[in-house]
Amino acid sequence: MVRKGYKEEIDLVRILWDNNFAAIRAPASGGATKKPLPDVIAGNGDRYLAIEVKTTSKDKIYIDSKKIEGLRKFSRIFGAEPYIGIKFKYKKWFFLPLDDLKMTPQKNYKIDLKLALKKGLDIYEVIGKEKQLKFK
């Protein structure tokens, strides 16, 4: 059985390698271990990224708060910058720092397309290759 998001994780790892970041999928993420592991870990010797990958065919997605706190904990211990990498169907990648996420009344996190368009970073912004101008 192919896990949802697997193809996107492989694509993201390729993009990172193509831009001088060593990157791996963390095969133990998603429940194979009780330890908080992100889906993708990358670094270039100067910067380290921990990315939780989400995909959806809808215009919003909910993420369990334990997943976010696990990403935060892993990143703190590892010395990585934590991001949620989200791919809406037929759209480009969006990367959101954890500080841009909003908690719902049910104590989960919601990312919708509107938030991604407003606050989301392009992968090349995340790795420092370009800066995108945001309109308000």
pLDDT tens column, 17-30? 999 999 999 866 55
pLDDT tens column, 112-126: 999 999 999 999 999
75 is an active site residue: no
pLDDT in tens, 59-102: 999 999 999 999 999 999 999 999 999 998 878 899 999 999 98
Separation in Å, CA 63 to CA 25, 70, 99: 19, 12, 14
- CB burial of residue 122 (10 Å; 0-12, 13-18, 19+): middle
User: Can you give the CATH number for the domain in which 31 is found?
Assistant: 3.40.1350.10
Query: Is 136 contained in some domain?
Result: no
Q: How many domains does the structure of the chain reveal?
A: 1
11 inside domain:
yes
Binding residues: 9, 39, 52
Alpha-helix residue ranges (DSSP H) falling in the chain: 6-18, 65-78, 113-119, 123-126
pTM of the model: 0.87
Q: What radius of gyration do the chain's Cα atoms show? A: 14
Predicted confidence band at 3 (pLDDT cuts at 50, 70, 90)?
A: low
1 in any annotated domain: no
Q: What are phi and psi of 10, to 5 degrees?
A: -60, -45
> How buried is residue 84: exposed, middle or buried, by Cβ count under 10 Å (0-12/13-18/19+)?
buried
Q: Let me know if residue 82 belongs to a domain.
A: yes
133 falls within a domain: no
The arithmetic mean of pLDDT across residues 100-106, rounded, is 91
Residues annotated in the binding site for Mg(2+), as ranges? 9, 39, 52
* Residue range(s) defining the domain that contains residue 97: 6-126
Residue 2 confidence (pLDDT): 43
Q: Residue 132: CB partners within 8 Å, gap ≥ 6?
A: 121, 122, 125
**One of 29, 57, 65, 75 is an active-site residue; which one?**
29
- Residue pair 99/52 in contact (Cβ under 8 Å)? The answer is no
Q: Residue 15 falls within a domain, yes or no?
A: yes
Task: Name which residue leads in pLDDT, 32 or 107.
Answer: 107
